[in-house]
Amino acid sequence: MSQILARRFAWVSSLFVLVAGIMFFCLPNVAQAAIGVGVGSGKIQVDDELKPGSVYELPPISVTNTGDETGEYEMAITYHEQQTELEPKNEWFIFTPKTFRLAPKEVQVVKVTLNLPVQTFPGEYFGYLESHPLSVSDNGVTRVGVAAAAKLYFTVVPAN
């Protein structure tokens, strides 16, 4: 009985070594680099009532490359699906700079200008001032998209 168990153990061990060897030699070695982004503020609440046809300077956003490789980043406005607040339009925002390159742990301060058109509908607005890497593919390797954002709240009142 012990010889049968010894043979089975030897067979299973040999199979394991064979499978491990195939995996080690046949699968490509892929170096993994981390892509990351962080923003310095979590929430921007504009307490003043904003009026259509006006331009406002919002607090600047600090964007940090939290990853371990240099990357290209951009700013955008994004929203929740089915949010109750009104959605500000992307074209209302001027990000300076809109796109930029960051080395690992490097920080870029982005100026944010809100330009409300004359026909802006009064109400409560919400959006995310988002930063994310521009490139989602490098040498054919697709990366999971990452982003970081500050919540933006503001109220538009009717113009006089």
Is the pLDDT higher at 6 or at 35? 35
Range 11-17 average pLDDT: 40
Q: For 112, what's the count of Cα atoms within 13 Å in the CB-facing half-sphere?
A: 22
Phi, psi angles (nearest 5°) of residue 151: -75, 135
Model pLDDT for residues 113-126, shown as the tens digit of each residue: 999 999 999 999 99
Closest CA to 154 of 133, 124, 119, 129: 124
| Whole-prediction pTM | 0.72
What per-residue confidence (pLDDT) applies to 134? 83
- Identify the residue with better confidence: 153 or 40: 153
Question: Is 74 in contact with 98 (CB distance < 8 Å)?
Answer: yes
